[in-house]
A = this chain, B = another copy of it.
Amino acid sequence: MTEPSRAREIREAATELFYERGYHGTSMREIAARLNMRAPSLYNHLESKQQLLVDIIEDDVALITREFEDATATTDDVIEKFRRGFEVHVRHHTRYAHESKIAMTEVAALEEPGQSEVKEMRRHYTELWRTLIEQAVAEGRASTQSTNLAAYAIIDMGIGIARWFRPDGPLSEGTLAGTYCDFALSVIGADSSPPRSRT
């Protein structure tokens, strides 16, 4: 019964160490030491150090993308989509702050083809935001004239959270998500009142 979780334990230890010291600043011996193992034993559960990084980053980007798509699919109102999508964005960067920080910081440490894959996944996620903002503007529910920059601005606002948020701090995830949603809505110049039915 200890067997199926060993790979996951290794990955969790690696995630913490990559978060604290970076990929190149972490040795396989250190990861093993966290689990009271020796470095060679790790290789019964993984391919390589590099594969560990690829898995952590790709899974994180895939997860936030899926969370976004699920959350925005539950309503037709474009501002409500935006609100739910951004709440997911913020909450992801608090709940998976370590993975998110690694995904942001260690892209350069990815070898090909992993690096290109991750960049493509990120482009896709950004594109989802751009499209949503464009739609809000097209429907007259938001006023920004720079959908491109607005997308970058609100995404980066959320990513930053992963660098300073502390789960045990005084600020709750819910308060943070609410306040940041207001920030994001004002960046795109949102009219947050419900849509008028056409006369």
Contact = CB atoms under 8 A, between A and B. Distances in A.
A146 interface: yes
Interface of A: 20-25, 104-106, 108-109, 146, 149-150, 152-153, 155-157, 159-161, 163-164, 171, 176, 179-180, 183, 186-187, 189
Contacts of A157: 153, 156-157, 160
A94 to B, nearest CB: 13
Contact of A186 (B146, B152, B189): B189
A109 B22 contact: yes
A16 to B, nearest CB: 12
B149 A109 contact: no
A25 to B, nearest CB: 5
B164 A180 contact: no
A103 to B, nearest CB: 12
A106 B150 CA distance: 27
A51 to B, nearest CB: 17
Contact of A152 (B20, B21, B104, B164): B164
Contacts of A153: 157, 160, 180, 183
B24 A22 contact: yes
- Sorted nearest first, the 9 A-B pairs with minimum C-beta distance are A156-B160, A24-B24, A186-B186, A24-B25, A183-B187, A146-B179, A153-B157, A153-B183, A149-B179
A81 to B, nearest CB: 20
A156 B108 CA distance: 20
Contacts of A160: 152-153, 155-157, 159-160
A150 B157 CA distance: 10
15 contacts: A21-B108, A22-B24, A24-B24, A146-B179, A149-B171, A149-B180, A150-B183, A153-B183, A156-B157, A156-B159, A156-B160, A156-B163, A157-B157, A157-B160, A183-B187
